[in-house]
Amino acid sequence: MIAKDQNTALLTVGKAALKNADWTDYANYCFDREKGLRKDAFKHLEKFLKSTEDWTFYKKIDFLKFLFPFFENVQDADYACFPQPLSDKLVKPTLIKWCDNEDADNNPFRWYGKYYRSENHLFKALEINPTDDLARQTLLSWWTYNIYYSVHHLPEGYIGEPLEYIKLGEKIKTEIQKLSTAQLREYWMNELEEDLELVRNYIDWKASGHSDFEKWGMENKKQTGYGLTRTYYYEE
């Protein structure tokens, strides 16, 4: 079952696709998918993909230039509007060829890097355009998630080597400072520091020799847990 945001995205992308007659079958895929007519939707998609076999390389690029801004700016557009056959038969091979022949446009590198999980492509996007905040934030989201994952079972247990995540935190801070706006820098620093606080507290607890991390946190007014509701200890 498709969620409400995905339905909205399907209608948004479908209506925009109607502006190009060559994309009508893709638009109809979006409309039928929004209605819950999955079988009919994929028939339209199959017809669309068949038609793209005769497209020039640049015509395929034009479709990708149309599609990816929706993926990056419309909530959930990169789910239902980006089915596996579209990815495998058109988008991925076109991006690979585009990146192999591109040295001035950072977009294909960012798109490939984000949607096919390649740090090297994201670094290339940033090499071409150091102000590409979208590429940099994709890297930040992956790296900060690694730190979050290491602490998300605390106080029961830590996953990984905490000192390595302190080093990763410094690497992340360097990238955060390269973001183009103070608002973005503040957002990512807050995201990072919430988890680094837990890492540092865990390291301090281990060094203390105390037998119980949670009790140590209570005694020292330190955060020891991470979940839907963070666990903080304050002086009364």
pLDDT at site 178: 97
**Residue where a domain stops, chosen among 66, 99, 128:** 128
Share the mean pLDDT of the chain: 93
> Is 226 contained in some domain?
no
Same domain flag for 100 and 23: yes
* CA dist., res. 216 & res. 204, Å (int): 10
- Asked if 92 and 140 sit in the same domain, the reply is no
Q: Are residues 104 and 158 in the same domain?
A: no
- 118 and 190 part of one domain: no
pLDDT of residue 26: 98
State how many domains the chain has: 2
CB distance 217 to 201 below 8 Å: yes
Tens of pLDDT, residue by residue over 104-151, are 999 999 999 999 999 999 999 999 999 999 999 999 999 999 999 999
- Residue 236 lies inside a defined structural domain of this protein: no
Same domain assignment for residues 99 and 159: no
Where in the sequence is the domain holding 202, given as residue range(s)?
133-220
Q: Per the domain annotation, does 225 fall within a domain?
A: no
* In the predicted structure, residue 69 carries a pLDDT above the cut 60: yes
Question: Six-digit token pair at 156?
Answer: 């029961």
Which whole number is the average pLDDT over 44-63?
98
Q: What angle in degrees, to the nearest 10, is found between the helix axes of 107-115 and 57-73?
A: 60
4 band by pLDDT with thresholds 50, 70 and 90: confident
- CA angle 178/194/233 to nearest 5° reads 155
Burial class (CB in 10 A: 0-12, 13-18, 19+), 185: middle
The CA–CA distances, whole Å, from 218 to 30, 109, 212, 225, 231 equal 53, 47, 10, 11, 10
Predicted confidence band at 91 (pLDDT cuts at 50, 70, 90)?
Answer: very high
Residue 142 lies in a domain: yes
**One domain for residues 57 and 92:** yes
Residue type, 235: E
172-230 pLDDT, tens digit per residue, is: 999 999 999 999 999 999 999 999 999 999 999 999 999 999 999 999 999 898 644 44
Judge if the upstream peptide bond of residue 155 is cis by omega within 30 degrees of 0. Answer: yes
